[in-house]
């Protein structure tokens, strides 16, 4: 059945129960006035606040937005983009789009104006809803996207070129829209990218989204007693697909805006959180804050917290060893996936397999995996090959890109581009990536984009960007800079120049050296990794090996 049926069911069965709570501890003054219908916590001069929503209100808001879209000419198969920070309205808006039979197109809130424009055009979006944080970026491209109408604005101080989401939906019916669609109808487009840095539009069906619900529920055993803490951005498949377990079970979830260790622990304590999904840096920050005395665990009631799981990047076994020492009663899982496989879960460690920490795990619920050579044939146990996965969450295609689709989808198998091995027990270990994408703190950084930006500097002749191992972030962005003859430039100059880039794309290490290229003009990045990353890689591998032995 379509995933929207779960929302309708929950509204009927659990209508008066809280399903979502938003907690903002970032002290962002401008966000305090976005949602007029909610009140700030009384006697709270710091500006912290807590908003809640029941299943009935969630469903009614989704219906109102769906009926507004239909009234404005959006029909089944149209694409409607979402450009919002995490907020209480995000998921009702997403489900409102789905209830029209239209295709939801979430956009990365870190995109520049040009990237927003590119993705809107690539997905052939017809409408867009955006929030206050994006007014400047939308002003820059508004005249260049006349095909994107209507433009809805969710918040106060509406720009003149957009229409008010709040005002318009308030006047729309909260009844279920009369639109028929099936599991096989298209539901959502998410964006990914290869080493070229140009995003691909990943098309998923309702059946694919439904599979994420079931997979998450089977892996982590959500019941109506659970309360899931969601911190990562909802535009990404990872956060939303883990929340789908809450949708499936009809249980609570909390959206936390802020990643400081004391904020996370305070929210877990006060909201009685049972399941937390963390990125590696956040888990490390929590442990470091405990070790250095910045937070005192005795100040929090964490007795109900049963599961911590991690995804989006390789997990150092040493981190989990430290975690289990402090939280010995926690269940632990790691989840592997990609947007093409509807997010995490096609491979997972499994809460019963803590002795295999270091592996990404075994096939997820209803998934198959294999390690293959360049010809697509399975390799022998222990040999390195490409990881391929097959299951109900594999994408339908790269939208309007049959060539790219054919390159990764073969006989129902999705070829991930990740290299790994399989041990005698069937557990998968990743060893490298075919792609040059850098994963820093759970975010993908595309080297070509940063290289092109660096080359726009007057003093730079050439630039190469690679990832170097980092204990906290997994990888950091390192830039090898080749200066023009006679030019002078300092590390501080480059850092200042890169301040125009989004923070997660900025190089953390600057190296002045020649950029090696092969006879065809391609940068020889393996040489650069060997030259500058060898010591880091050896140190990281020694840590992983030592901790893996200890864990087993």
Closest listed residue to residue 449, CA positions, set 112, 81, 108: 112
Report whether pLDDT(547) > 60.
Answer: no
CATH of domain 438-551: 3.30.300.30
Whether pLDDT at 231 is above 60 = yes
Predicted local confidence at residue 442, as pLDDT: 82
Q: How many CA atoms lie within 13 A of 165 on its CB side?
A: 28
Going by C-alpha positions, the residue among 202, 212, 73, 84 that lies closest to residue 137 is: 84
Across residues 363-375, what is the average pLDDT?
95
Whole-number pLDDT of residue 399: 97
pLDDT of 24 reads: 86
The pair of structure tokens assigned to 14 is: 């659990």
> Does residue 37 register a pLDDT over 70?
no
Lowest mean pLDDT among 48-62, 99-113, 433-447, 479-493: 433-447
Decide if pLDDT at 196 tops 50: no
Handedness of CA 280, 316, 451, 443 (dihedral sign): negative
Q: Return the pLDDT at 132.
A: 95
CATH topology for the 4-258 domain: Rossmann fold (3.40.50)
Tokens coding 126: 């017809």
pLDDT of residue 32 exceeding 50, the answer is no
**Any idea which of 50-64, 208-222, 518-532 has the lowest mean pLDDT?**
518-532
The whole-chain average pLDDT of the chain stands at 88
The residue with greater pLDDT, 385 or 141, is: 141
**pTM of the shown model:** 0.81
pLDDT in tens, 445-469: 877 778 878 988 989 888 999 999 8
**Percent of the chain with pLDDT strictly greater than 70:** 89
- Higher-pLDDT residue of 547 and 371 is 371
pLDDT given at position 46: 41
pLDDT band at 29 (very low <50, low <70, confident <90, very high): very low
More confident residue, 251 or 318: 251
pLDDT at 48: 54
Highest mean pLDDT: which of 247-261, 459-473, 528-542?
Answer: 247-261
Best CA proximity match to 374, nearest among 424, 436, 435, 434: 434
Which two tokens mark 169?
């939906």
Compute the distance between CA of residue 39 and CA of residue 50 in angstroms, rounded to an integer. 8
pLDDT for 166 equals 95
Average pLDDT over residues 420-444: 83
Residue 51 pLDDT exceeds 50 = yes
The secondary structure element, H or E, covering residue 170 is helix 165-170
Residue 487: pLDDT over 80: yes
Domain extents in the chain: 4-258, 307-433, 438-551
CATH of the domain spanning 307-433: 2.30.38.10
pLDDT for 315 equals 75
pLDDT band of residue 539 (cuts 50, 70, 90) is low
């Amino acid at each position: 059945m379509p995933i929207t049926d779960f929302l309708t069911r929950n509204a009927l069965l659990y209508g008066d129960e809280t399903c979502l709570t938003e907690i903002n501890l970032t002290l962002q003054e401008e966000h305090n006035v976005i949602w007029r219908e909610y009140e700030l916590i009384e006697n709270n001069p710091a500006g912290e606040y807590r908003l809640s929503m029941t299943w009935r209100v969630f469903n009614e808001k989704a219906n109102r937005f769906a009926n507004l879209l239909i009234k404005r000419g959006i029909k089944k198969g149209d694409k409607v983009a979402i450009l919002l920070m995490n907020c209480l309205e995000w998921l009702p808006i997403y489900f409102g789009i789905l209830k029209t039979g239209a295709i939801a197109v979430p956009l990365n809130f870190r995109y520049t104006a040009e990237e927003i424009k590119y993705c809107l055009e690539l997905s052939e979006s017809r409408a867009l809803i955006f929030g206050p944080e994006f007014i400047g970026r939308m002003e820059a491209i508004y005249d260049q996207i006349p095909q994107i109408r209507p433009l809805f604005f969710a918040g106060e101080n509406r720009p003149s070129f957009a229409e008010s989401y709040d005002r318009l939906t308030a006047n729309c019916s909260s009844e279920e829209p009369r639109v028929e669609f099936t599991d096989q109808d298209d539901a959502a487009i998410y964006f990914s990218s290869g080493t070229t840095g140009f995003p691909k539009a990943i098309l998923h069906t309702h059946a694919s989204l439904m599979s994420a619900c079931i997979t998450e529920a089977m892996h982590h055993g959500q019941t109506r007693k659970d309360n899931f803490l969601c911190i990562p951005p909802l535009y990404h498949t990872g956060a939303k697909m883990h929340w789908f377990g809450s949708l499936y079970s009809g249980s609570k979830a909390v959206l936390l805006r802020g990643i400081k260790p004391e904020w996370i622990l305070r929210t877990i304590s006060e909201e009685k959180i049972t399941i937390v999904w963390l990125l590696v840096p956040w888990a490390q920050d929590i442990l470091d804050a405990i070790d250095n005395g910045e937070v005192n665990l005795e100040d929090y009631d964490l007795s109900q917290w049963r599961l911590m799981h991690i995804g989006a990047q390789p997990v150092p076994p040493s981190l989990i060893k430290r975690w289990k020492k402090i939280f010995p009663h926690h269940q632990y899982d790691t989840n592997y996936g990609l947007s093409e496989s509807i997010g995490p879960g096609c491979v997972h460690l499994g809460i019963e397999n803590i002795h295999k920490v270091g592996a990404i795990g075994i096939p997820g619920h209803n998934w198959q995996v294999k390690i293959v050579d360049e010809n697509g044939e399975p390799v022998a146990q222990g040999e390195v090959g490409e990881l391929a996965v097959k299951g109900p969450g594999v994408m339908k295609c790269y939208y309007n890109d049959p060539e790219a689709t054919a390159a990764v989808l073969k006989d129902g198998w999705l070829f991930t581009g990740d290299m790994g091995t399989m041990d005698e027990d069937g557990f998968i270990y990743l060893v490298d990536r075919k792609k040059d994408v850098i994963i820093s703190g759970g975010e993908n950084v595309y080297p070509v984009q940063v290289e092109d930006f660096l080359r726009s500097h007057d003093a730079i002749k050439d630039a190469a960007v690679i990832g170097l191992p980092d204990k906290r972030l997994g990888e950091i962005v390192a830039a090898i800079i080749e200066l023009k003859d006679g030019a002078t430039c300092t590390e501080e100059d480059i850092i200042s120049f890169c301040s125009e880039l989004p923070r997660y794309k900025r190089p953390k290490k600057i190296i002045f050296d020649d950029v090696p290229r092969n006879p065809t003009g391609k940068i020889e990045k393996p040489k650069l990794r060997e030259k500058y990353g060898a010591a880091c890689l050896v140190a990281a591998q020694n840590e992983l090996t030592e901790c893996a032995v200890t864990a087993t």
